[in-house]
Structure 1
Amino acid sequence: MEFSREKAKKAQVREYKTIQPKESLNTLSKAKITISNYLGGKYFSTVDEVVQNKNIVKLVESKHSRNSVLPGESDIKDGLVKMILYSNLCSVEINGASVKSKSVLRLTSKVFLGAVSSKFAQKDIDNCFKVNSLSEKQKEFIKRIFKEAEENNFIVQIQGVK
């Protein structure tokens, strides 16, 4: 068991040092996360961005697409798993200090116009759908992602980038 934990920790370090060429991040604040459970297990991961405002920290997982309105479904599902995990953390510490956390799945695209969030009013979401000429399938997919965010207490942001 110790062998596999050591390999996981090394993988965390590799991922922490790696800048994905297609990622579109607002900050260069990639961070290592170690999740501990009540049985003494430790799980090593990274988060793409950490945005701290006083005693609240946003754990941001980013997925990007160069050629499509949205990143691929498998990338988004990977991000959703992390959101569900991060949204269920009992306590979060930065350098030993307790902070409140909020999980954010940020989906970026060079094709998407403007920005929309799972926290927006429905009329603003509908307007963004119209501006981007989204298909019914794309609209339904985004609605399901937003529903997942609501049910699991995290935020989804979709925005166009240059």
Structure 2
Amino acid sequence: MTSLFFKGFIRDIRYNPQLRSKLKVYPLNSFDINTSSACGIIELDSPENTLAFSKWVSPKRTRSYPFARIYNTYYLNTKKVTIIPIIKDEGLAGDNDRINFITFSWMSLMNVYIILAWYEKAEMLKGNSAKLTKQQFNPDYVKEKIQEIANYQLTALHWNTTHFQQEFNKVYRRAVDSYQTISQHQGVAVHPRALQLNVLEQFNVNNYFSLENFKQYTLPNSLKAAQREVITSHALEYLADGDKGIFEISNYLGGEYYLTVDEVYQEYDTYILQESKNTSRKFPAKADIKDGLFKLILFANLERLLLDECEISFIVCLKITGQIVGSLSLPADYAVIGEFCKRNRFSRIQSQTIMTLAQECTVNHKLSILITSAN
């Protein structure tokens, strides 16, 4: 498996999600991030004045489908806010995750406003005295930041940059202090304070948060390697099974952001940028599919894409595999879809999901979806 290093440019984002979920509406004055659903709508001072929110249960993107939650809000013509724990320490027997630069990149390019938050409460996991569960944010702080974003007049990129520069250190230290308090109250050992603060120091220059240091420290090693050496030889045999794709994306403001896709492969003169969703069951869960779709929104909106400084033709594809008979490539005629669903004995809900995915491809022209056997 090799890594292909691409450069892309994005001017704006146009995307029309079709696989929508009904969202609950919460008045801001009684909103509590801990008791709310995973995503929804916040009513500010009137039913016409709203913003959309989603929350992450961990700063790691591979846990609990946070992108699926943002996808659920993306059709709304209002500000989108996402609340992310800056650290999640599950105790010495659990994970210790931190937010990274790729998350900052993704949200900023998608015009999603980040609220960095911390967990101030947690409980010992039943039957495991070395692990924490049921972690809760500080709800007043989250509500305060939501109100600030409601009144904010610039883009999410501006907000996120300023928010990180001015408040990252403060929120991070609050998170570390909270875990020390939780540890004492619950009798669960957490990761050492000195370790957590040493990581924070790597993000700072003269005690001030540096977005550049944060980027360099948190980018995956494969991405840093790709920055140092752009691959210049791409024989077709290397692309046969799909290579990892690493993308340096710039926007009209000149900023540079880093993203990845699961696979890149070549068909004739066109490169396919592919996210894959696999299941041992008949068909993946909707949240899994939405997670893949959200990741592809940015790539479907690239104005141009270069490999080895040469502009290339490309499309984006979501590959869905399960216990499937045959294959279906979307968009497709409804009659073809109906026959495929009948042959696979899909439920009414599964069949409707596939019809909706066909519509997703129809209204978002650079998107394609392949549904096929896991074998």
Q: TM-score range by the shorter chain?
A: 0.7 to 0.9
Secondary structure of the structure 2 residue equivalent to 1:149: helix
Q: Distance in 2 between matches of 1:35 and 1:137?
A: 37
Q: CA RMSD in A?
A: 2.1
Letter in 2 for 1:59: L
2:305 equivalent to 1:92: yes
2:212 equivalent to 1:2: yes
1:20 aligned residue: none
Choose 144-153 or 5-14, whichever is displaced more.
5-14
TM-score, normalisation: structure 2: 0.37
1:46 aligned residue: 260
Q: CA deviation at 1:142?
A: 1.5
Residue pairs, 1:8-47, within 5 angstroms: 8-10=218-220, 13=223, 27-47=241-261
| Cα contact 1:57–1:102 (8 A) shared by 2 | yes
Secondary structure of the structure 1 residue equivalent to 2:331: coil
348, 366, 369: which one aligns with 1:136: 348
Secondary structure of the structure 2 residue equivalent to 1:35: strand
TM-score, normalisation: structure 1: 0.82
Q: Distance in 2 between matches of 1:3 and 1:118?
A: 42
Residue pairs, 1:70-85, within 5 angstroms: 70-85=283-298
* 5+ residue gaps, structure 2: 1-210, 227-239
Distance 1:94 1:76, change over 3 A: same
Letter in 2 for 1:126: G
Q: Distance in 1 between matches of 2:304 and 2:296?
A: 15
2:47 aligned residue: none
Distance 1:102 1:136, change over 3 A: same
* 5+ residue gaps, structure 1: 17-25
2:256 equivalent to 1:65: no
Q: Distance in 1 between matches of 2:222 and 2:257?
A: 9
Secondary structure of the structure 2 residue equivalent to 1:30: strand
317, 330, 349: which one aligns with 1:118: 330
| Cα contact 1:84–1:152 (8 A) shared by 2 | no
2:360 equivalent to 1:148: yes
Q: Deviations over 1:70-112 (max 9, x none)?
A: 2222221111112221110011011111012111111011x11
| Cα contact 1:8–1:44 (8 A) shared by 2 | no
Q: CA deviation at 1:120?
A: 2.6
Secondary structure of the structure 2 residue equivalent to 1:27: coil
Secondary structure of the structure 2 residue equivalent to 1:48: strand
Q: CA deviation at 1:45?
A: 1.7
